[in-house]
Chain A
Amino acid sequence: MFKIIDAEFIAPGIKRFVLEAPRIARKQKPGQFVILRIYEEGERIPLTIENSDPDKGTISIVVQSAGKTTRLLNSLETGDHILDVVGPLGKPSEIEKFGTVVVIGGGVGTAMAYPSAAAFKRAGYRVITIVGGRNKELVILEQELRAVSDTVMITTDDGSYADKGFVTDKLRQLIENGVRIDLVLAVGPIPMMRAVAEMTRKENIRTVVSLNTIMIDGTGMCGGCRVLIDGKSEFACVDGPEFDAHKVNFEVLVQRNSMYREAEQRSLTDYERSMAAKAAPQEACAIAQGEKR
């Protein structure tokens, strides 16, 4: 059992948890993730570690409500427990050389990009951070990122905050302005990572993406997380989660991530119905009767 030390929403539907996990806290490095299972009947899902505090023995994760498991997770509060948390898994980010790095975070991916940005800064990189969100409320960790970046650029899809547009617009500007970029790290929705990869491919800029795949054990045993890298099968859990963006077959990634879409939808619908029933028994009853008609 892993205790939730702190839980707070940092944006609508996005919650940050601080968990008591001393073993993981001691070992975590940027780029690594945990797999958790909330309760006995629960599925195992991978989540990137946002930060850790080895002295306090805690790690933090940032969770966006999407399917049943993430919604259930986001309904937990300080003092609640998570049944299983295992990690840190995956290879840490490779942070060795010096130069200029552009760290791109899209949506909740920003939380995953944050520890890497901080590590790049510590390693002596010049850090240019681009953060994108659908709207103002979904731009997260701005202050944290400003503290570890030389420059922070922000875009929103709807223009409700900072500049209207996409993270790739900012990346294009940097390239067009002749900024020397040694490395790009992009973490976010697959279409965003793919668009970044296409843009930097033409410019021959080394680009790394962090892939979020379907996983069970997270130790290489099941092979469910396999991705096509340069035409060859690799396992996101042990060979990744970070890969050379120019070698990733994004089409296969999208296809494999959609494998359980129907089941996921069903889980979510059942979950929402049960939540509605708890919140307003009469209302849920009426809905159920309505469906029968």
Chain B
Amino acid sequence: MSPVAKKSINPLSPKERIKVPRQPMPEQPAEERNKSFTEVNLGYSPELARQEALRCLECAKPTCTDNCPVGVKVKEFVELIVAGDFLSAAAKIRENNVLPAVTGRVCPQEDHCEGKCLLSKKVKPLGIGYLERFVADYEQRMGTHVIPNVQPTGKKIAVVGSGPSGLTVAGDLIQKGHKVRVFEALHELGGVLVYGIPEFRLPKQIIREQLDYMREMGVEFETDVVVGRTVTIDELMHEEGYDAVYIGTGAGLPQFMGIPGEHLNGVYSANEFLTRINLMKAYKFPTYDEPMVELHGKDVAVIGGGNTALDAIRSALRLGARKAYVIYRRSDAEMPARAEEVHHARQEGIDFQMLTAPVEFLSDGKGWLTAARCVRMELGEPDSSGRRRPVPIKGSEFDLPLSVAVMAIGTTANPIVQSTTPGLGTDKRGYIQADPETQRTTRPGVFAGGDIVTGAATVILAMGAGRRAAGSIHDYLSTGQW
């Protein structure tokens, strides 16, 4: 790409571009996909992609890039799509984002690039996520990754956790010539991308391909290692010779509400429910050995309004649930889930019980869940999060018959690494303290980012932290200055 400013190759005038409608994402019909785990969105064709790319206004100061946690050069890659050079478009994205096929699918674009797209002042924003996904998939289909040729630095970095944050660090640092080894506690790589996000939203094959690419670039992976238990951070640095460590262990422990009956059989945390399905393939029992409670013909509810909640309940629906409810204590406007997921869930027939919260789980007397006693809420004064506080409406209690309830109300910090790493500072909630610019922790040579620093957030924010960390790890290793 020439550093000299060049004229746009887009044949349309800005006025004409605004008139081109946003190209809809082809998707499986709702009544078919709610019975299957195959991917909901089918992806753009090259024609649709080019048509959509023509809408870009090519702003002089692109706010899309400014609002991308990893700084993807949107204008440049979209222009390459207009030019029909899809592989160069993919390479352009990869300069800033090592997992484009993932973020193109699961990133909440409305909160980042698309939310600030100039087009959205008048019409719908540019489909940046859809375009990103298109070029990443195109590159994959062509099977032509560019393996960068770099000079080895002789430095070694240990990455703890193979989720989006750790993979970003690994992908960035390997391209700078460092040796990188990623440690994963589970038997499969990918972290939340494999145990959390279901197949219909992010096919596992996508992750495997991204991992293969990283292996080709030289990243080493070791599964079945719980850092803090199997090996400590200190041992990695002092005995195994790592020059720096990045901690990206994710958010961790599922929260429960502390209401009566949460220990009943049939009450799951979303993490367990999704892990049984995604990682352990429990829905293929008895071909796979890990069991789960039968969902076919059963009434299932998820408690919570985030992406995890929707992933869980849409999975339950696909596994044959008769009724599938989302129970959320606030209203639509406060739901933290990605807009597209809420839209898809409604299409598929999920029953949203808004402004509702369970107060007790009822049992059959033999330890199995039979219903959730719920109360309706109304919104009161704003709370510390700035959202209006839900207040129970007196006398509004009702019982919702249920066989399975899934708690998706958030997580707390997993303490394993913190409690086994002397001198590693944590905040009062137990998350690791890290500088928001450099991701440096209180321990020299140790960096951290993603949910273990911020608490539960999104894939792209974890990747953003990974990107910043990779930059400052490289600086640290190059200068030796802490």
* Chain A residues within CB distance 8 Å of chain B: 23-24, 27, 37, 41-44, 68-69, 83-89, 216-224, 226, 228, 233, 235, 238, 252, 255-256, 258-260, 263-264, 266-267, 270
Q: A24-B230, A216-B272, A216-B275 are in contact. Are A83 and B291 (CB under 8 A)?
A: no
Determine which residue in B186, B287, B367 has the highest number of CB atoms from chain A within 10 A of its CB, and name it. B186
A216 engages B225 (CB within 8 Å): no
A219 engages B414 (CB within 8 Å): yes
Q: How far is the CA of A87 from the CA of B195 in the complex (A)?
A: 19
Q: A44-B280, A267-B286 given. 9 additional CB < 8 A pairs?
A: A89-B226, A216-B275, A219-B185, A221-B271, A238-B414, A255-B263, A255-B265, A264-B291, A267-B289
Q: How far is the CA of A223 from the CA of B280 in the complex (A)?
A: 15
Q: How far is the CA of A223 from the CA of B254 in the complex (A)?
A: 6
A223 engages B253 (CB within 8 Å): yes
A226 engages B226 (CB within 8 Å): no
Which residues of the partner chain B approach A41 to less than 8 Å between Cβ atoms?
A: 281, 287-289
Nearest residue (CB) in B for A216 is B275
Nearest residue (CB) in A for B255 is A223
Interface mask (B202-242 → A, CB under 8 Å = 1, otherwise 0): 00000000000000000000011110011100000000000
How many A-B contacts at CB < 8 Å in the complex? 125
Number of interface residues of B (CB under 8 A): 43
Which residues of the partner chain B approach A42 to less than 8 Å between Cβ atoms?
A: 288-290
Interface mask (B280-320 → A, CB under 8 Å = 1, otherwise 0): 11000111111111000000000000000000000000000
A23 engages B230 (CB within 8 Å): yes
7 contacts between A and B (CB under 8 A): A23-B231, A86-B185, A221-B253, A224-B269, A224-B272, A238-B253, A252-B263
Smallest CB separation, B260 vs chain A (Å): 10
B271 engages A87 (CB within 8 Å): no
Residue in A216, A218, A255, A256 whose beta carbon sits within 8 Å of that of B280 in the complex: A216
Asked if B30 is an interface residue, CB under 8 A from chain A, the answer is no
Residue in A24, A43, A83, A220 whose beta carbon sits within 8 Å of that of B252 in the complex: A220
Smallest CB separation, A100 vs chain B (Å): 30
B388-440 residues with Cβ-Cβ distance < 8 A to A are: 414-416
Smallest CB separation, A80 vs chain B (Å): 17
Smallest CB separation, B291 vs chain A (Å): 3
Asked if B276 is an interface residue, CB under 8 A from chain A, the answer is yes
Which residues of the partner chain B approach A68 to less than 8 Å between Cβ atoms?
A: 289
B96-148 residues with Cβ-Cβ distance < 8 A to A are: none
Smallest CB separation, B18 vs chain A (Å): 47
Which residues of the partner chain A approach B223 to less than 8 Å between Cβ atoms?
A: 84
Q: How far is the CA of A86 from the CA of B292 in the complex (A)?
A: 22
B246-262 residues with Cβ-Cβ distance < 8 A to A are: 250, 252-254, 256, 258, 262
A217 engages B186 (CB within 8 Å): yes
Q: A23-B230, A41-B287, A41-B289 are in contact. Are A220 and B253 (CB under 8 A)?
A: yes
Q: How far is the CA of A218 from the CA of B225 in the complex (A)?
A: 12
Residue in B252, B263, B290, B366 whose beta carbon sits within 8 Å of that of A44 in the complex: B290
Q: How far is the CA of A218 from the CA of B414 in the complex (A)?
A: 12
Which residues of the partner chain A approach B286 to less than 8 Å between Cβ atoms?
A: 263, 266-267, 270
Which residues of the partner chain B approach A37 to less than 8 Å between Cβ atoms?
A: 187
Which residues of the partner chain B approach A85 to less than 8 Å between Cβ atoms?
A: 224
Determine which residue in B269, B285, B289 has the highest number of CB atoms from chain A within 10 A of its CB, and name it. B289
B285 engages A263 (CB within 8 Å): yes
Determine which residue in A37, A217, A252, A258 has the highest number of CB atoms from chain B within 10 A of its CB, and name it. A217
Q: A223-B269, A224-B272, A267-B286 are in contact. Are A258 and B416 (CB under 8 A)?
A: no
Which residues of the partner chain A approach B287 to less than 8 Å between Cβ atoms?
A: 41
Q: How far is the CA of A221 from the CA of B254 in the complex (A)?
A: 6
Q: How far is the CA of A264 from the CA of B289 in the complex (A)?
A: 9
Which residues of the partner chain B approach A24 to less than 8 Å between Cβ atoms?
A: 230
Q: How far is the CA of A123 from the CA of B95 in the complex (A)?
A: 57
Smallest CB separation, A120 vs chain B (Å): 22
Which residues of the partner chain B approach A27 to less than 8 Å between Cβ atoms?
A: 229-231
Nearest residue (CB) in A for B274 is A222
Determine which residue in A43, A221, A238, A270 has the highest number of CB atoms from chain B within 10 A of its CB, and name it. A221
Residue in B195, B224, B263 whose beta carbon sits within 8 Å of that of A86 in the complex: B224
Q: How far is the CA of A217 from the CA of B187 in the complex (A)?
A: 9
Q: How far is the CA of A263 from the CA of B282 in the complex (A)?
A: 11
Residue in B186, B256, B262, B290 whose beta carbon sits within 8 Å of that of A43 in the complex: B290
Which residues of the partner chain A approach B185 to less than 8 Å between Cβ atoms?
A: 86, 217, 219
Smallest CB separation, A292 vs chain B (Å): 20
Smallest CB separation, A193 vs chain B (Å): 18
Smallest CB separation, B327 vs chain A (Å): 18
